[in-house]
């Protein structure tokens, strides 16, 4: 297991590179093995480096490329990198012979959420209605579902009884229905993404959803909906490609402007929002 933060904690550049190479050396000693690099986007993209730290950052990327090339041989060592921002990777990292197989792991769907809950509650899952719980956890990550399972177990232990579906439901935030006007605005917003995405051919259209209720937790990552396209993990880096992705990201807000002569704040304010995606894409 490695990450730039862990390697950097060893000291200056020389220590960082030594720790990085050490992770690969350890993997080779224990082959067959897996070297897992978490948050690999932290390594950066050499085309974006500038200022007095540019040379330092370039040497970090070059050091990782050297390890991936395995000039000393890394037979039996599989290297896996994880990131939420694949578009921020240096292009050389993902070329054939390095990290050349790309797998997208989206947020779990209904069946996935039910399966994750069943895994964490295996000893009691046959007696639980996990379908109803999964239906209430749209947009939740696997980690959030694991936490829900722990909290429900704790509730049952305090009551000195077996785990029940009610324990899981009791740990979920209360649902607050959205007003009709907000639902209509959200529908127009998502329709904008779909229309522009189909027009520009950014990928195969999969689905669009509108969320009719928010939970009362105040969690800022809750979404009013979403339009889903099957896109390439590493799309072509051309001007037309970048402008197309920016247009799709901003299409929801543009649709609101056309229909309502105003736009909501739902397109910004957090990582992964429409404005964040458009800005990150433009900076490339």
Range of the domain at 10: 2-94
At 239 the pLDDT is: 87
CATH classification of the domain holding 31: 3.40.50.300
The answer on 184 and 168 residing in a single domain is: no
In a domain, 126, yes or no: yes
Is the link from the previous residue into 274 a cis peptide, with omega within 30 of 0?
A: no
Asked if residue 101 is part of any domain, the answer here is no
Same domain, 50 and 83: yes
158 occurs within a structural domain? yes
How far is residue 219 from each of residues 47, 62, 139, measured CA to CA in Å?
35, 39, 11
Angle at 89 between CA 279 and CA 35, to 5 degrees: 145
Q: What is the pLDDT of residue 233?
A: 59
Q: Are residues 211 and 276 in the same domain?
A: yes
Q: Which of 141, 172, 203 is the endpoint of a domain? A: 172
Shared-domain flag, residues 138 and 75: no
Last residue in a domain, options 172, 190, 213: 172
Residues 130 and 64 in one domain: no
Q: Are residues 195 and 161 in the same domain?
A: no
Residue ending a domain, choose from 94, 129, 150: 94
Look up residue 34 and give its two tokens.
Answer: 């897996």
| Active-site option among 59, 66, 180, 190 | 190
Per-residue CA distances from 129 to 124, 143, 172, 202, 222 (Å):
10, 20, 14, 39, 24
Report angle CA 36, 40, 41 to the nearest 5 degrees.
Answer: 165
Residue 275 within any structural domain of the chain: yes
Burial bucket for residue 145 (CB in 10 Å: 0-12, 13-18, 19+): buried
Within a domain: 140: yes
pLDDT tens for each residue of the chain, 284 residues long: 778 888 888 778 888 999 999 999 999 999 899 999 999 999 989 988 888 888 889 999 999 999 888 755 678 899 999 998 888 889 999 888 889 899 888 888 889 999 999 999 998 888 899 999 998 888 889 999 999 999 999 999 999 999 999 999 999 988 888 899 999 999 999 999 999 999 998 888 888 888 888 776 655 455 678 888 877 656 677 888 889 889 999 999 999 999 999 988 877 766 678 888 888 888 87
Instruction: Examine the domain organization and report whether 119 and 77 are in the same domain.
Output: no
pTM: 0.60
- State residue 250's pLDDT score: 93
- Give a yes or no: residue 187 inside a domain: yes
197 burial via Cβ count (<10 Å: 0-12, 13-18, 19+): buried
Q: Are 62 and 54 in contact (CB under 8 A)?
A: no
In angstroms and rounded to an integer, the radius of gyration of the C-alpha atoms of the chain is 23
Query: Residue 183: its pLDDT value, please?
Result: 92
First to last CA, the chain: 29
Does residue 104 lie in a domain region? Answer: no
CATH number at residue 116: 1.10.8.60
CA–CA separation, 159 and 120 (whole Å):
20
- Contacts of 247 by beta carbon, 8 Å cutoff, 6+ apart: 196, 200
State whether 276 and 203 are in the same domain: yes
Based on the fold, state whether residues 276 and 198 are members of the same structural domain.
Answer: yes
State phi, psi for 155 to the nearest 5 degrees: -60, -45
Tell me, yes or no, if 231 is annotated catalytic. Answer: no
How many structural domains does the chain have? Answer: 3
Whether residues 189 and 279 fall in one domain: yes
SS3 of 93-155: HHCCCCCCCCCCCCCCCHHHHHHHHHHHCCCCHHHCCHHHHHHCCCCCCHHHHHHHHHHHHHH
The answer to the question of residue 190 being in a domain is yes
Judged by DSSP in three states, 8 sits in: helix
8 and 73 both lie in a single domain? yes
């Amino acid at each position: 297991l490695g990450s730039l933060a862990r390697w950097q904690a060893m000291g200056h550049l020389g220590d960082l590179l030594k720790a990085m190479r050490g992770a690969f050396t350890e993997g080779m000693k224990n082959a067959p093995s897996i070297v897992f690099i978490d948050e690999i986007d932290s390594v950066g993209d050499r085309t974006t480096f500038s200022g007095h730290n540019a040379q330092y950052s370039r040497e970090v990327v070059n050091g990782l490329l050297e390890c991936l090339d395995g000039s000393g041989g890394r037979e039996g060592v599989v290297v896996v990198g994880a990131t939420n921002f694949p578009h921020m990777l240096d292009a050389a990292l993902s070329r054939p012979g390095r990290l050349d197989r790309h797998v997208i792991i989206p947020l779990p769907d209904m069946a996935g959420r039910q399966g994750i809950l069943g895994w964490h509650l295996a000893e009691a899952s046959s007696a639980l209605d996990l379908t109803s719980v999964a239906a209430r956890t749209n947009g939740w990550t696997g980690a959030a579902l694991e936490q829900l399972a722990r909290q429900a177990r704790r509730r049952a232990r305090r009551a000195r009884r077996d785990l029940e579906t009610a324990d899981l439901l009791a740990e979920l935030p209360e649902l607050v229905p959205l007003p009709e006007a907000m639902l209509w605005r959200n529908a127009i917003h998502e329709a904008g993404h779909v229309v522009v995405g189909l027009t520009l051919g950014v990928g195969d259209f999969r689905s669009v959803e509108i969320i009719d209720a928010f939970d009362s937790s105040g969690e800022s990552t809750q979404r009013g909906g979403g339009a889903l396209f099957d896109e390439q993990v590493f799309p072509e880096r051309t001007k037309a490609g970048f402008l197309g992705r920016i247009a799709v990201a901003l299409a929801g807000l543009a649709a609101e402007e056309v229909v309502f002569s105003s736009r909501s704040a739902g397109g910004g304010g957090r990582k992964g929002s429409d404005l964040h995606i458009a800005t990150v894409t433009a900076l490339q």
